[in-house]
Chain A
Amino acid sequence: MIRLVYYELIKMFLKKRTYIGFGLVLVVVPLIEVAFKLEGGRFLQVATRGLAQDFFMIGNLFNGWLISYQLMNSLYIHIPLLISFVTGDILAGEATAGTYRLLLTRPVSRTKIFFTKYVAAVTYTFLFVAFLSVLSIGLAYALLGGGDLLVVDKIILVVQESEVGWRFIIGYLLALWSMLTIASISFFFSSFVENAIGPIVATMGVLILCLIVSSLPLEVFDSIKPYLFTDYLNLWQKAFHDPIPWNDVQTALMVFGAYSFASAAGAWVIFTRKDILS
């Protein structure tokens, strides 16, 4: 099994496609952070214009933590797109290349092959989120330094600098959990199509549709909203609340877990039963 996972990762990381997401993050994150640096504190003034009448802002609130926090908003659409770009290709790419015939005529079971591929999808998602976190926090800190973190969500909170580090770690771990759901959904779509574009389009379609339903203030959708994973995509923000609402976190983790499990199980059923005609 370990040997199979090793070669699955070799296949993945010797493919140029795998690096497109990393490359884009490598370009976009520095671009945004340098732009923030050039913009100076004006961003904070604009963002807190409504608060300035009621609060005194003391200290360096325009810092690396704030920019890193802002960049985490990309976890709603942009990062899912880049993740599904690779995880949606893991099964469908084999069908496109005709290499299912190479893999599935061997004495190793389809279930084992499925799990090696799922492990590869999880590994990619982990590395991608880790890369995003290290780059965005590291570079922002280098450019703008540290300080307290001003969080303006449904609440206004100033997180002490001594707490910011571990809150980011929790935030990114929660983000990783939600991104694994995205990876699982695209993996599911990848199991029954024969081109890699289909899973990306389908994943983004599901994501956007659910986001629209989640954000519409219509009563008719109220009963289904708690079951939509998109309702919990802001899970990472909970890491910056004080205290962290662990009950809400637990609910969100369970919803994401249920989606991931259902998607992976569905993909397994399809993969182990499908006829290879390509």
Chain B
Amino acid sequence: MNDIILQTNQLSKKYGERWAVKNLNLEIHRGDVFGFLGPNGAGKSTTIRMILSLIKPTTGDTNIFQHSLQSHRSLALQKVGGIVEKPDFYLYLSAQRNLEIVGALNGGASKQRIDEVLHLVGLSERARDRVKTFSHGMKQRLGIAQALLSDPELIILDEPTNGLDPQGMKEIRDLILHLANDRHKTIILSSHLLSEVQLVANRMAIINNGELIVQGEVKSLLEQGERYVLMEAQPLAKAKSILSKKKKLIKSYTEENGILNLNMNFDDVPKIVSALVRGGVSIKSVMPRHSLEDYFLAITENAGGKES
């Protein structure tokens, strides 16, 4: 189950004197929904363009399904589908015709298969309409349809929810989960929307300034991060006074708009609540917070700090 289907080896791209991507080693396992994270300009799209052979690496290589992309490009990309940034199409042609063209580049796609993928992304009714009449969300869905057309094992989606409204984002998210869970596809999902990755990915990598910061299982990476508890307590002054005496349990705390943000272990929450209540503080709400966003920000800020 854990066999590696995509591996980048010291993958690097240099533009002039600037390394857009440097010595990147990624490993994608079969069945992964792999979140590829990084702030804007981190090198995500450059990496994906190299993986899909749109850009030639300065050094390094990518192996896909055991085939080197540099020496056996066609074999390496045989079972790969993807969208890079915004999906662009021949606007003057219909959705169906666009998929026929994409199909021809994959060795041909039957009408039945084209209908199937259009149905999967909810565009059956618009199959014969010109793409120029499509909304951004519909183009995005058509982008996923073209990525799925050859029934690839590995699907690479670069910022697939960019520019979509919340409903559109949810639809794409549900589609990714459907492809991963029901159709057993391996998916690389590049995004700067951390919550999106947190909702669908089981493994992830974070890059910043073109370099890999961390890679691993989302769950175990999150456990390494700081944990916070958001608390509404009254009276606030009394609560702060009690918390300041609990330095063994609380690493630090801040207060913003009447809400306390406690940096502490989740296991110690009952002890803190009990101490506050005993001290005459009433607790309105307690909410543990441990998001990828915190982790991401912490890790990219640290990496940025190292450079400066």
Contacts and interface: CB of A to CB of B under 8 A. Distances in A.
Interface of A: 3-4, 6-7, 10-11, 14-16, 97-109, 113, 273, 275-277
B55 A14 contact: no
B88 A97 contact: yes
Interface stretch (B71-79, B230-238, B241-249): B71-79
Contacts of B86: 98
List 3 tightest A-B contacts by C-beta distance, closest first: A98-B88, A106-B105, A276-B54
A196 to B, nearest CB: 14
Contact of B90 (A11, A16, A105, A113): A11
Nearest to A97: B88
B82 A105 contact: yes
A105 B104 contact: no
A109 B73 contact: yes
A99 B49 contact: no
A177 B15 CA distance: 41
Contacts of B106: 106-108
A102 B53 contact: no
Given A102-B87, A105-B80, A275-B55, 10 more contacts: A11-B90, A97-B90, A97-B91, A98-B86, A101-B85, A105-B53, A107-B76, A107-B77, A108-B105, A276-B54
Contacts of B159: none
A3 B103 CA distance: 10
Contact of A99 (B52, B56, B89, B108): B89
A101 B84 contact: yes
B75 A107 contact: yes
Nearest to B85: A101
17 contacts: A4-B104, A7-B100, A11-B101, A14-B97, A15-B92, A16-B92, A97-B88, A97-B90, A100-B54, A101-B83, A102-B87, A102-B88, A105-B84, A107-B76, A107-B107, A108-B105, A108-B106
B93 interface: yes
B88 A101 contact: yes
A102 B85 contact: no
Given A3-B104, A4-B105, A7-B100, A107 B85 contact: no
A107 B73 contact: yes
B101 A101 contact: no
B44 to A, nearest CB: 14
A216 B34 CA distance: 66
B54 A7 contact: no
B108 A3 contact: yes
Contacts of A102: 87-89, 98, 101-102, 146
A14 B93 contact: yes
Contacts of A106: 77, 102, 105-106
Interface string B99-117: 0111011111000000000
A107 B55 contact: no
Contacts of A100: 54
